[in-house]
Amino acid sequence: MTALLLALLAHNSADFLFQTKQMVRAKNRLKLSAFFVHALIFWITLLFLLQGYQYPNVFWFASVLAISHLIIDLAKCLIMRRGGKVLDLILFLGDQGLHLLAIWFCWQNFAFESNPTVASFYQMLFTPNFPLNLKPVPLPMLNHLLLAANLYIAVCAGGAILIRKILEVLAPKVETTEENVLEPEKIGSFIGVLERLLMLFLVTNNALGSVAFILTAKSVARFSELNDRKFAEYYLIGTLLSTGLAVLGGFFLNWVVLLI
C-alpha cells in the first residue's frame, strides 16, 4: 500500500504542482518536447519517492508508468484539438482516471522489496549525535500521512483545474470592468486553493461548522460585486463547487483512515 500511495503522490505532484501553464500550453500545441519533459519529471519524482525499494523493479515500474503517462497525455491532447469546453472537461476527468488505473495496474504486477542500503543511509543521516528518544514512524501512520498528502494536493491544486473547467461549461464568462474588478487570475486561484486547504483541515478535524466562517468572510469581501447577476451566478457556482469538493474530500479522508 505504501508503494501505491507514493506512486499516486508522484503523479499528483507531477500533474498539479510541477506542471507549469507554459508546459500545458505547449502540450496543447502538440509540442513533443513538452510531453517528454512532463513524463521525465514524473519519472524522476517517482524514482525519488520509491528510493526505499530495490531499484531494478522500481526502475522498470517508473519507466512503464512514465511511458503510459506520456501516451495518455498525448492521446488526450490529440482528441482535445476537436475543441469544446464539455469535451475538455470530459478529457480531463478521463485522463486522470486512466493515469490512476495505470498506476493501480502496475502496482499490482510489480514486487516491491525494501532497500536496506537506503534505509541504513537515512537512519545514519537522521540519527542525532546526542541522545533522543526518537522512534521510527509506524507504517499505518506513514500511510495516513501519504494519503493525506495525496488528497490535499488533489483537492487544493487539482481541484482548481477541475473547478475552472466546470465553470467554463456551466457559468458565463464574467468580464472585468471598472465597476466589477476581479482579482488577477493568479490571486483568485491562490484564494481558492487556500480556501479548500482550510476547509479540508477543518473537516478532517471534525470542525465542519467552522467552514461557515470561511464562506461568510469570502462573501463579505465580494458583497458589492454580487449585485451583478452574472457575477453572482459565477461566484455561487464556484463557491459551491469548491466547498463541496473540500467537504467531500475531508469526509473521504476520515473514512479511508479508519480502513487503513
pLDDT 10s digits, 232-251: 777 788 888 888 999 999 99
Last residue of a domain, one of 110, 136, 162: 136
CA gap 166, 244 in Å, rounded: 13
Q: Are 19 and 78 in contact (CB under 8 A)?
A: no
Residues 57-109: tens digit of each pLDDT: 899 999 999 999 999 999 999 998 877 888 999 999 999 999 999 999 999 99
**Cell 506512486, located at residue:** 7
What is the pLDDT at residue 195? 87
**Residue-wise DSSP of 4-63:** HHHHHHHHHIIIIIS--HHHHHHHHTT-HHHHHHHHHHHHHHHHHHTTTB-HHHHHHHHH
Model-wide pTM > 0.75: yes
Other CB atoms within 10 Å distance of the CB of residue 36: 12
Residue 144, in any domain of the structure: no
Q: Are 238 and 163 in contact (CB under 8 A)?
A: yes
- For residues 160 and 245, state if they share a domain: yes
- For residues 107 and 164, state if they share a domain: no
What is the pLDDT at residue 148? 92
CA gap 257, 260 in Å, rounded: 5
Last residue of a domain, one of 101, 136, 171: 136
Residues 176-224: tens digit of each pLDDT: 333 333 444 566 677 888 888 888 888 888 887 888 877 777 777 666 6
- For residues 159 and 254, state if they share a domain: yes
